[in-house]
Amino acid sequence: MDEFEFIKSIQQKSYVQPSLIKGIGDDAAVFRQSYQDTVMAVDTFVENIHFSRKTMHPFHVGYRVLAANISDMAAMGCDPAYYLISIVIPESWAEDELSEIYRGMKEIATEYKMDLIGGDTVSGNELVISVTIVGFVAKGSSRYRSSAQDNDKVFVTGTLGDSAAGYYLLTNESDGEIGGYDYFVNRHRMPKPRIAFAKWLESLSRISLNDISDGIGNEAAEIAEASKVSIHLDYSKIPYHHDLEYFTQEQQKKWKLFGGEDFELIGTVSEKEWPLVVEAGKQTNTKVTEIGYVKDNVHSNNSVFLYEDSKVTKLDKLGYTHLK
């Protein structure tokens, strides 16, 4: 299959988004929007950095690269609509594996009602997939990392450390029986971004949000820095799946705080609007846990503090970082 046949093979026959005017097949895609804000992000995924043949089937590679981008739309409180894929294809990836990657993307795109409207295809030495995503939100309603304020409650969705546990199980021989093997592996391969939950919060007057790609150590620090506040987290409140207890205390702690790739949301909200966050959790079947609070104090601002037993430690940004 050459480049042009490949593009034909991945092209959608019809589109679901009403604002689309021109999809795949010209020099660029066109959509028309007048009554909402447009939200855009791009994330790039490289073989052996973000995924490997050991950790993912080609289907999961596709599913997960789009999931990671959809999660950024959730963190902005918006609805994902379109995506564009730029792909560098090495000879070592066979045609049927590539179509599996696209099948994985199509699967999650259908779940979230998104259209593939363009991209680029080139050959190269390693598999690299760059996803550009476009979403829409009611005017002025996008959610920022910079919106945290003094005395806000800090909350997180779902459970943390699952994806890192899945990655560990896929890359290490386990000694002894590990409960929840399939659960953890599935959380690593097919994360479910929290769009419905974040959308339900649209009526709140103020909320800060960030999605967990690198670990809450990093993501909480991004909120603290952007909002110029300090964040105080209670380690014992951090929600985790009960089967995480099959692992050592040290592993559990590392994965919950710094594992990343759970694609859950961390946010802060005023005490007054906290009940609405709890209600959003109920309405969208999303576990929501209060894990700490925000303080605006010039001496401690921009930092994250972790309270464990009677100890307080300043959380270093030990989560995943490129270009160390």
Ligand X SMILES: Nc1ncnc2c1ncn2[C@@H]1O[C@H](COP(=O)(O)OP(=O)(O)O)[C@@H](O)[C@H]1O
Residues that bind Mg ion in the complex, under the rule CB under 5 A: 43, 72, 211, 213-214
Binders of ligand TPP among residues 46 to 85 (CB under 6 A) are 48-52, 55, 68
Residue type, 35: Y
Q: Sign of dihedral through CA atoms 148, 152, 157, 159?
A: positive
Instruction: Write down the least CB distance from residue 322 to ligand X, Å.
Output: 9
Of the two residues 109 and 212, which places its CB atom closer to ligand TPP in the complex? 212
Binders of ligand TPP among residues 174 to 233 (CB under 6 A) are 213-214
Q: Is 72 in the site for ligand X (CB under 6 A)?
A: yes
Does residue 320 have a known ligand-binding role? Answer: yes
Q: Is 255 in the site for ligand TPP (CB under 6 A)?
A: no
Does residue 57 have a known ligand-binding role? Answer: no
Q: Is 159 in the site for ligand X (CB under 6 A)?
A: no
Instruction: Write down the least CB distance from residue 184 to ligand X, Å.
Output: 22
Instruction: Write down the least CB distance from residue 47 to ligand TPP, Å.
Output: 8
CB distance 293 to 151 below 8 Å: yes
Helices marked H in 39-84: 58-75
Distance of alpha carbon 144 from alpha carbon 39, whole angstroms: 12
Both tokens assigned to 110: 């259908």
Question: What is the DSSP code string of 113-139?
Answer: T-EEEEEEEEE-SS-EEEEEEEEEEET
Site string for ligand X, 16-55 (x = CB under 6 A): ---------------------------x------------
Both tokens assigned to 238: 């951090």
Closest among 217, 241, 195, 242 to 292, alpha carbons compared: 217
Distance of alpha carbon 137 from alpha carbon 36, whole angstroms: 6
- Give the binding site for ligand TPP (CB under 6 A): 43, 48-52, 55, 68, 167, 213-214, 260-261, 320
- Give the binding site for ligand X (CB under 6 A): 43, 72, 213
Q: Which residues are annotated as a binding site for Mg(2+)?
A: 27, 43, 72, 120, 211, 214
